[in-house]
Amino acid sequence: MSKKMNIIIVEDRMMARDELKYLLSLHPDVNILGEFETTAEAWQLISSGQVDGAFLDINIATEPGAAGMDLAFRIDRLPLANPPWIVFTTGYEEYALSAHTVTLRLSG
């Protein structure tokens, strides 16, 4: 039996969070550790080293700027042997290219 991936969802819109939760629940190797509306709420769990991956909304309406991307840079600086992988999510076309650029920067 393979180890389940411990993931979190950081998304300010409940409908989007619920859809992600549903889709991820269909995958038997996924364990959803938590869901958060803000990056501040998610940070403690992320920095604990228990998270294998994170689905991050790029633009969280209640936070300034591109909060999801800012959190990705914080995750990248964590002193962990295996930092969490990141999947950016967005409902806005204008943020998609930014996420791609950030992904390239984080991966090398």
Which residue reads 């989007």 in tokens?
Answer: 16
Domain harbouring 19, CATH code: 3.40.50.2300
Percent of the chain with pLDDT strictly greater than 70: 78
Q: What is the pLDDT of residues 12-39, one digit of tens each?
A: 899 999 999 999 999 999 999 999 998 8
Number of H helices and E strands in the chain, helices first, is 4, 4
The type of residue at 92 is Y
Mean pLDDT of the chain: 83
Largest CA distance in the chain: 42
Q: What is the extent of the structural domain holding 70? A: 5-106
CB 90 within 8 A of CB 99: yes
pLDDT over 60 at 90, yes or no: yes
CB 85 within 8 A of CB 52: yes
Domain total in the chain: 1
